[in-house]
Chain A
């Protein structure tokens, strides 16, 4: 049935948005920054993985090495670039990350060029068909990895000391410093983890989207919307919001003629705004209390 297939497609596309949204949320949770360059960092990492595969490494080892390298990349970028903009107004930080985006985009095209590159899938094996609907193994794999990532992140942020320290630093860096937490080091860890997550996201979606410097450019807007809709606090929120966005845009484009395909992007954006007007903390966020 067409509607069922649209929902499945929506969940698959939503998983792509969610993968990037998760990295965005993690970076924000750890350092309070909305990193517009998250997608570009993920693409850069994916190119690195591609080079490793080209050099003869298997996909899984290549991804593993890439994730490790991305942890270092993220930490370095935080220390060298982002630390400078810490307490600046959010707009300055955002523009700094935009600069980073352009820098990484330029470097990617310099090193690897613009032509589309095929990336070997971690999950391969064709299509599952059931009752008139079809889903590819790759999409299913991405979906499951996403769920696993959410669980791992939840365990990390809520149940571990590192997570507690990261949250404290993002929440109130001054008090954390006064309490003796190594704030600088923790910020680096936060960005490193986000970059590692982004690398996984990039490697998961590259087989479908095909790798080039602009692979995640269109996805970024959706990932931002998903993160905001979810509350920018909660990994689960970001992913669930991403799925909602994927499904709703498909259904709206298919069944609402006024919207059609050309206005499909308005659906997630306006949905997000509507939710925020009614519930400022997003679907899964915590209510923020500001002391005057």
Chain B
């Protein structure tokens, strides 16, 4: 008796479940907006971002998000984005942590599109992470706009990847720009190189090599590499110093390791001209701690943004505004990291695209993005603008060469 009752319950439960589940339809996207204009209502624009907020690079991710948030919140506080249909809309930013794992970036993208119904995903951080998302953006026809990575793959092929575009100058472009410092010497010059062991370091070196082609500049010795998690680069610098090269291309993207590299060169008594990439050139963050500012005679770097900690911008209105907005809206983010500035300027670029879009669909947005030309994006250096119409190049594709002298960086005469 009891046996039969139990099986009756079993059958009933499973039947009820089956019917209940069959009843629900397949839910296609939530969030604001209609089917035709996902992510946009009369009053709001929903966008998404996926960055590493936990794990080893969480400071960069937090800064990237913080910079973007600071700009969007400031715009909202002033009323919102004035769009071409006459309506002013506020921006709603949804952010998810991907822990710098490509698998999570992909899932976050889907979540933002399918569950949060965003108009676009803007300013994601990480090369592999966004490379994983790229085919999904294409599959779902959702803009993956202004990726925060210097890998050329994001902007290189608009016809193959219509929904994806990068933002900042590629690592190749940076390397090529730095090469000018050596080429301008106009005599045989030897260069020793240390680079990060990944696509960033590879591209940097490729750009540099391209830049010195046909000139009297030659690289010497074994190209030294390092991993981002290394303790020091002492051993690598020792090897480079043994080449007695005149120029050191220190393509080190990690601040503590750049300090280690320059300190070691100084301790060994090696005094080459030093070429530093844009993310590890800071006076207070790298030059002073390593004693490089007082030791090396020639330090060059590239840049496309105003570095907030650089005293020459201390009273620049855009920089002051940036600092205030970061303090107000993103106090937990580190405003001195380059990612904060990139996030902020990327947001400004995106808002400009919103302002110039004709219509409210995702396609309209991408059209506006691809046509975007602007000279007045905050935090970009004078003379550096956004030009997304330059096919195959990143929207920001001008990078300037700087020389360090008298305690500050100024535009290099060789540029």
Question: Quick check: do A and B touch in the complex, using CB within 8 A?
Answer: yes
Name A residues whose Cβ lies closer than 8 Å to a Cβ of B. Answer: 2, 5-6, 9-10, 12-13, 16-17, 109, 113-116, 118, 127, 129, 134-136, 208-210, 212, 214, 217-219, 222, 249-250, 253-254, 260-262
Tell me which of B230, B239, B289 has the highest count of chain A C-beta atoms within 10 A of its own C-beta: B239
**In-complex Cβ contact of B235 among A113, A134, A250, A262 (8 A):** A250
User: Which chain B residues border A261 with CB–CB below 8 Å?
Assistant: 197, 224-227, 235-236
Q: A2-B238, A2-B242, A134-B268 are in contact. Are A210 and B59 (CB under 8 A)?
A: no
Q: A113-B334, A129-B269, A262-B225 are in contact. Are A210 and B289 (CB under 8 A)?
A: yes
Q: Can you list 25 residue pairs at the A/B interface with Cβ under 8 Å?
A: A6-B235, A9-B235, A10-B235, A13-B231, A13-B232, A16-B231, A17-B231, A113-B332, A114-B62, A114-B334, A127-B267, A134-B268, A134-B269, A135-B267, A208-B232, A209-B231, A209-B256, A210-B256, A217-B229, A218-B229, A219-B231, A254-B235, A260-B225, A261-B225, A262-B197
Instruction: Flag if B267 contacts A218 (CB, 8 Å).
Output: no
The reply on B361 being an interface residue by CB < 8 A is no
Residues from 311 to 358 in B contacting A, C-beta threshold 8 Å: 332, 334, 336-337
User: Which chain A residues border B374 with CB–CB below 8 Å?
Assistant: none
Instruction: Flag if A134 contacts B234 (CB, 8 Å).
Output: no
Closest CB of chain A to B66's CB: distance in Å? 12
Q: A2-B238, A115-B336, A217-B56 are in contact. Are A136 and B231 (CB under 8 A)?
A: no
Number of interface residues of B (CB under 8 A): 32
The reply on B255 being an interface residue by CB < 8 A is yes
Q: How far is B256's CA from A218's CA once the two chains are assembled, in angstroms? A: 13
Q: How far is B258's CA from A93's CA once the two chains are assembled, in angstroms? A: 37
Closest CB of chain B to A119's CB: distance in Å? 11
Instruction: Flag if A222 contacts B268 (CB, 8 Å).
Output: no
Q: How far is B14's CA from A9's CA once the two chains are assembled, in angstroms? A: 69
**A2-B242, A16-B231, A208-B260 known, 6 other contacts, Cβ within 8 Å:** A13-B231, A113-B332, A115-B337, A218-B230, A254-B235, A262-B197
The reply on B58 being an interface residue by CB < 8 A is yes
Q: How far is B285's CA from A136's CA once the two chains are assembled, in angstroms? A: 21
User: Which chain A residues border B260 with CB–CB below 8 Å?
Assistant: 208
Instruction: Flag if A114 contacts B238 (CB, 8 Å).
Output: no
User: Which chain A residues border B285 with CB–CB below 8 Å?
Assistant: 116
Q: How far is B197's CA from A217's CA once the two chains are assembled, in angstroms? A: 19
Q: A210-B289, A214-B56 are in contact. Are A222 and B231 (CB under 8 A)?
A: yes
User: Which chain A residues border B56 with CB–CB below 8 Å?
Assistant: 214, 217
Residues from 218 to 259 in B contacting A, C-beta threshold 8 Å: 224-227, 229-232, 234-236, 238-239, 242, 255-256, 259
Closest CB of chain A to B407's CB: distance in Å? 18
Instruction: Flag if A13 contacts B234 (CB, 8 Å).
Output: yes
Closest CB of chain B to A139's CB: distance in Å? 9
Q: How far is B256's CA from A208's CA once the two chains are assembled, in angstroms? A: 9
Top 9 A-B pairs ranked by shortest CB distance? A114-B59, A218-B229, A250-B235, A2-B242, A9-B234, A261-B225, A127-B267, A210-B256, A5-B238
User: Which chain B residues border A135 with CB–CB below 8 Å?
Assistant: 267
Instruction: Flag if B231 contacts A218 (CB, 8 Å).
Output: yes
User: Which chain B residues border A114 with CB–CB below 8 Å?
Assistant: 58-59, 62, 334
Q: A209-B231, A209-B256 are in contact. Are A6 and B225 (CB under 8 A)?
A: no
Closest CB of chain B to A23's CB: distance in Å? 16
Closest CB of chain B to A172's CB: distance in Å? 37
Closest CB of chain B to A76's CB: distance in Å? 26
Q: How far is B62's CA from A219's CA once the two chains are assembled, in angstroms? A: 25
Closest chain A residue to B234, Cβ basis: A9
Instruction: Flag if B256 contacts A6 (CB, 8 Å).
Output: no
Q: A114-B58, A218-B229 are in contact. Are A12 and B234 (CB under 8 A)?
A: yes
Closest CB of chain B to A251's CB: distance in Å? 9
Instruction: Flag if B239 contacts A116 (CB, 8 Å).
Output: no
User: Which chain A residues border B224 with CB–CB below 8 Å?
Assistant: 261
**In-complex Cβ contact of A136 among B238, B267, B289, B337 (8 A):** B267
Q: How far is B347's CA from A36's CA once the two chains are assembled, in angstroms? A: 40
User: Which chain B residues border A210 with CB–CB below 8 Å?
Assistant: 255-256, 259, 289
User: Which chain B residues border A212 with CB–CB below 8 Å?
Assistant: 59, 256
